Amino acid sequence: MKEDSIIKRIYKSPYLHFVVFGLVMSLLPALTSGGILKTSWLGIIGGTIIYTIAALGLNLLLGYSGLISLGTAGFMGLGAYISAYATGNLGLPWEIGILAAVVIPVILGILIGLASLRMEGLYLGIVTLCVSEVLRKTFDELEPITGGFSGKSAEYPTLLGMFKLNQSTTFILLCVILVLVMILTYHLANGQMGRALNAMRGSHVAAQAMGVSLLKYRLIAFALATGYASLAGALYAHFIKFVYPSTWNLPLSLVILSIIVIGGLRSIYGTFIGAVIVYALPDLVLKRIPVIGDINGLSYVFSGILIILVVLFYPGGCVTVFYDLKRLLKKLTKRQVKDHV
């Protein structure tokens, strides 16, 4: 087989695809300020990006290593409050705030990873739910740091202490971070770690027999999932600019879970598609439809039914639709060639 030329290799590189994807996304502020799209799109797509980041972490955990976590919301909240407190009350630079907001939850995540070695399957789900509940109740009560029920406000980030961002530039920052997270996820998932996690999902006993260190990779998986979730939470604090304790409840964890199930387990673009379907579509499309759009709870019913249908009839998630279409197209063109001969 002939080696691909360098240009072709660069063209085929998934990293380049992520960068192009990010560039296309960051055109959005230009479109909204140009009046082509409504300004509300910025907030909704920004939220979608934040949800995608949190969901990518859960995808590493549930998709690759098969460990279920229902604590995503708690960690997102923890990241949000730490970052808001560090930048707002302590006056620390944004970069340090976000670093603290990722590191502290990761330590907690590693502890859960340690505990997870003793449990199986859904016990773990309920224990992570327990942790998330403890965190959520703490957000309610720890008023000096979290502001209690009245919530806590945060500012748009100031980069390097001098570049003060507004909504559009924060959106571009979100795009940059999303691309970095996607590249990191791709790199991890397709390297040695991805293979180890895949082996663990199949059978952790067999994986151990093959020399995969269960301790090491479970800890890494949990550290990554909590790290991504808290990063998403911290970005939420600085993009939405307000944090309420009631946001970080079980339904939010379920929304993140439904994103990866609907979009596609073990797929990076699938996660984004899932976030668009679950988070952006109800806001951008469903609520615009006359009469039906005014009904309360429609978006919940929409995602709920979609989850059930996807698990029952399309276990690979919505992203496999594209692969199936590609295969179908190939089949059709092949048949045509044959007919000609």
- Report the interface residues with other proteins, using CB under 8 A: 62, 66, 68, 115, 118-123, 125-127, 129-131, 133-134, 137-138, 141, 203, 205-206, 249-251, 254, 257-258, 261, 295-308, 311-312, 315
CA torsion sign for 123, 307, 298, 41 is positive
Residue whose pair of structure tokens reads 């691909």 in the numeric block: 4
Closer by beta carbon to other proteins, 27 or else 311: 311
Record the tokens describing residue 157, joined without a space: 């980030």
What is each CA distance from 75 to 134, 270, 302, 310, in whole angstroms?
Answer: 11, 23, 26, 27
Closer by beta carbon to other proteins, 252 or else 276: 252
The minimum distance between CB 17 and other proteins, in angstroms, equals 29
The minimum distance between CB 278 and other proteins, in angstroms, equals 10
d(CA 196, CA 189): 9
The minimum distance between CB 310 and other proteins, in angstroms, equals 9
d(CA 19, CA 182): 9
- Which backbone phi and psi does 132 adopt, to 5 degrees? -60, -40
Contacts 24+ apart (CB under 8 A), 199-202: 200/65, 200/66, 201/64, 201/65, 201/66
Closer by beta carbon to other proteins, 133 or else 155: 133
The minimum distance between CB 140 and other proteins, in angstroms, equals 9
What letter represents residue 59's amino acid? N
Asked if 277 and 304 touch (Cβ cutoff 8 Å), the reply is no
Closer by beta carbon to other proteins, 141 or else 324: 141
Closer by beta carbon to other proteins, 42 or else 68: 68
The minimum distance between CB 275 and other proteins, in angstroms, equals 16
The minimum distance between CB 82 and other proteins, in angstroms, equals 18
Closer by beta carbon to other proteins, 23 or else 308: 308
Q: How far is CA 166 from the centre of its chain?
A: 23
